[in-house]
Amino acid sequence: MEDQIKALVDPIYRSKVLAARQMSVGERLATGIELFESALGLMRAGIRAQFPELAPHEVEALLSKRLKRLKQVHEHGLYQKTKP
């Protein structure tokens, strides 16, 4: 099953890499910002689903707290990239 998934994923990944290589630095930067903003939207939606009673400013405060925690985890190297 894992081999079948890999066979499907590899061409998709390759096409994305090739497309990214064709982008200018500015286009790549804009794409990165769009991805980050999308991730923030998903995080906000998750917070609202978990805590539907929170006011918008409370959602933003919790989002900020979670982002700070993610930064701490990254800076301390608690998560390591896996080797293929």
Domain assignment present for 30: yes
Is the Cα dihedral 61, 35, 51, 79 positive or negative? negative
75 — pLDDT class (breaks 50, 70, 90): confident
Is residue 82 over pLDDT 80?
Answer: no
Q: Is 36 inside a domain boundary? A: yes
* pLDDT interval class at 79 (50, 70, 90): low
**Domain hosting residue 38, numbered range:** 26-75
Please count the structural domains in the chain.
1
Task: Say what the alpha-carbon torsion angle 23, 29, 34, 40 is, to the nearest 10 degrees.
Answer: 150
What is the reported pTM?
Answer: 0.70
Q: How far apart (Å, rounded) are the C-alpha atoms in residues 62 and 70?
A: 12
Mean pLDDT, residues 36-61? 98
Does 5 reside within a domain?
A: no
Residue 38 has pLDDT above 80, yes or no: yes
Query: Is 7 contained in some domain?
Result: no
Average pLDDT score over residue span 5-13:
92
